[in-house]
Structure 1
Amino acid sequence: MKEIQVYHVDAFTNEPFGGNPAGVVPDATQLTEDEMQKIARELNLSETAFLMTIEDKDVDFRVRFFTPTQEIDFCGHATLAAAWTMATEHGWLDRATSIHFKTNIGIVPIDFSKRGEELQSVIMTQATPQIKDIEADIETISKLVGISASELDPSYPIKLGSTGIWHLLIPVKTRKAIDEAIPNIDLLKDHNMTRGICTTHLFTFDSEEADWKLYTRDFAPAVGIAEDPVTGSANGALAGYLLLENILDKHTEHDFLIGQGEACGRPGQLHIKTSSNEHGPVIQVGGSAVCTIKGTVRLR
């Protein structure tokens, strides 16, 4: 009987049962793709990260991400959860100041931030952001996300954004409207699946919290997740969109917080840092995490 170590880690929070839970399998080297999918389905979390050893001097682990229904190319909160697990449960914090994962979208470096000997947060550098237009009228978008068309914010464009996977980014006037949104899950699933969109991400500058620059909410039925509590990839794509659309000055470094998860009872926050290099904007997304469950999965 093969026993596989697994962790349940709440990401983008420092409180148990907050943030976004992810599964982490630290040693998946001998697992088949079918076994990884079955473990992800058994854990029944939005995503599970599977780490595999790799002979590559530039990276520490190959990582694959599975929802309960399928593999996806990248997942921000599961990346954070995996880095946190390796740092705190597998001694990585004692040997290095960072860890590098090879994913389907490329290499993702993650830096550790300590206070004394204790890990305080980790921050990942995501793929270079991209945006593109989407053909959709306001009434259609309103019906998909369950928000009155009058509550959508015309000050900012509805766009697709990506730092590895595509998200539908929808500006909303108020946090209240976001919290009260009741998306048509079936319609949204069909809409996003036919267009290669991973999640639909609502955002507003009306955060109601002094420390938060933005407040967001995310729906991902196209990959088997009705609502994702706190989303690293979608908020990274949002940060890239803000720069590429000149909503934030792309030539200035930015450092701010985004709040998410309140509407589904799993509050969390993300630390966003932006800069630029010769390839364009650089998006970093970070936060803390809490390991709430540690155990083994038995495979025959």
Structure 2
Amino acid sequence: MREIVVYYVDAFTDIPFGGNPAGVVPDAAGLSEAEMQKIARELNLSETAFCVKSDRPGVDFTVRYFTPATEIDFCGHATVGLSWILATEYGWLTRADRVVLETNVGLVPVEWRKQGEQLEAVVMSQVAPRTREAKVAVEEIAEILGIPVAEIDRQYPLRLGYTGNWHLLVPVKSRQAIDQARPDLARLARLNREDGVSTTHLFTFNGVDAEAQIYTRDFAPAVGVSEDPVTGSANGALAGYLVLEGILDKTKEHLLHIAQGHAVGRPGKLFARIVPQEATPLIQVGGKAVPTIRGALLL
């Protein structure tokens, strides 16, 4: 019988039972893909990260991500949860300034932000952002999401955004309208699968609290998750969209504070830093995490 160490980690929060819970398997060496999928189904969180020490130069770990239903290429909040565990439980906070994770979409460096000797936040550099046209009409997506079409904010374009996964980015006029969304999850799943999209991500600049400039909500039925409380990959894609679509000045650095999870009783906060570069901007997403469960899974 094998014992596999597992953690539940609440990401993008400093309060237990807030933010977005991720499963973390810090040593997944020897696990098959089928076993990883079964473990993710058993843990029954939106995503579980499986980590294996790497022998490749310049790479510390290889990471794979599974929802209860399928493998996905990248997951922001599970990356934050895993990195927090590596730093605080496995000594990497004092061993190095960062770790480099090899994912299905490429290398993701994760840096430590410290206050004295304490870990204050982890910051991941996501892969280069991209956007492309969304095929769905504004009227159709409003109907699928269960919000009045008048609440779609047409001063911003409806687009697909990417920093590791593709997300349908939907601008909405107010936080109230976002919180009142009642999507038809079966229709949304079909739409997202047709477009190769992982999640549908609603965002607004209006009605947000004093600590955040943007409020978001994320639905992911195409990958087996009805609603993701606080979404690192989608908010990274949103940050990239804001500069690539000319909403924010691409020649300047921006620091965005984003709130999410309030609609499902798991409020969380993250920050997204946009750094100008010659080719495409660098998108960094970071935040805190809180481990809530540590145990052994028996195989």
Q: Same fold by TM-score, threshold 0.5 exceeded?
A: yes
**2:137 partner amino acid:** D
| Residue matched to 1:112 | 112
TM-score w.r.t. the length of structure 2 is 0.99
Counterpart in the other structure of 2:73: 73
Residue matched to 2:55:
55
- Give the equivalent residue in structure 2 for 1:230: 230
Root-mean-square deviation (CA, aligned residues, Å) is 0.7
SS in structure 2 at match of 1:252: coil
3-state DSSP class of the match of 1:86? helix
Contact 1:9 1:291 in 2 (8 A): yes
Question: What is the identity, as a one-letter code, of the residue corresponding to 1:244?
Answer: L
C-alpha displacement at 1:278, in angstroms?
Answer: 2.8
**Counterpart Cα distance in 2 of 1:267 and 1:199:** 19
Instruction: For structure 1, list consecutive stretches of 5 or more residues without a partner in the other structure.
Output: none
Shift of 1:237: 0.2
Deviation, structure 1 residue 276? 2.0
CA–CA distance in 1 between the matches of 2:201 and 2:229? 11
Shift of 1:116: 1.2
Matched, 1:173 2:185: no
The offset of 1:208, in angstroms, is 2.6
Whole-angstrom distance in 2 between the partners of 1:206 and 1:21: 27
Gap runs ≥5 in structure 2: none
Structure 2 residue aligned with 1:189: 189
Any idea what SS the aligned residue of 1:212 has?
coil
User: 1:242 Cα shift?
Assistant: 0.2
- Alpha-carbon deviation of 1:205? 0.3
Offset at 1:210?
1.5
Query: Which deviates more, 232-241 or 134-143?
Result: 134-143
Deviation at 1:289, TM superposition (A): 0.1
Q: Give per-residue Cα distances to partners, 1:201-220, cap 9 Å, x unaligned.
A: 00000143122110000000
**Alignment match, 2:200:** 200
Contact 2:176 2:207 in 1 (8 A): no
- Contact 2:255/2:273 (8 A) holds in 1: yes
- Mapped contact 2:12–2:77 kept (Cα < 8 A): yes
| 8 A contact 1:128–1:279 mirrored in 2 | no
The aligned amino acid for 2:119 is L
- Partners in 2 of 1:279 and 1:16 — Cα distance? 40
Distance 1:114 1:178 in 2: 34
**Structure-to-structure mapping, 1:33-48, within 5 angstroms:** 33-48=33-48
Shift of 1:46: 0.2
Aligned length in residues: 299
**Contact between 1:12 and 1:287, CA under 8 Å: does it hold in 2?**
yes
Question: Offset of 1:197 from its aligned partner?
Answer: 0.5
Q: Which amino acid in the other structure matches residue 263 of structure 1?
A: A
Is this contact kept in 2: 1:254–1:274, CA < 8 A?
yes
Pairwise CA distance, 1:143: 1.3
Give the structure 2 partner of residue 92 of structure 1.
92
Alignment check: 8 A CA contact 1:165 1:198 kept: yes
Classify the secondary structure of the residue corresponding to 1:30. Answer: coil
Q: AA paired with 2:280?
A: G
| Contact 2:213–2:256 under 8 Å retained in 1 | yes
Amino acid across the alignment from 2:38: K
Contact 1:207 1:259 in 2 (8 A): no
Residue matched to 1:210: 210
Percent of residue pairs identical:
58
- After TM superposition, the structure 1 stretch with the greater mean CA deviation from structure 2, 273-282 or 97-106, is 273-282
Residues 80-110 of structure 1: CA deviation (Å, up to 9, x unaligned) = 1000010011111110111110000000000
Post-superposition CA distance 1:147-201 (Å, at most 9, x none)? 1100000110100000011000000000000001000001001111121100000
Cα distance in 1 for residues equivalent to 2:137 and 2:193 = 18
Report Cα offsets for 1:254-284 as digits up to 9, x if no partner: 0120000000000001111111223311100
Q: Counterpart in 2 of 1:264? A: 264
SS in 2 for 1:206: coil
Kept in 2, the 8 Å contact 1:131–1:161? The answer is: yes
State the TM-score, normalizing by the size of structure 1: 0.99
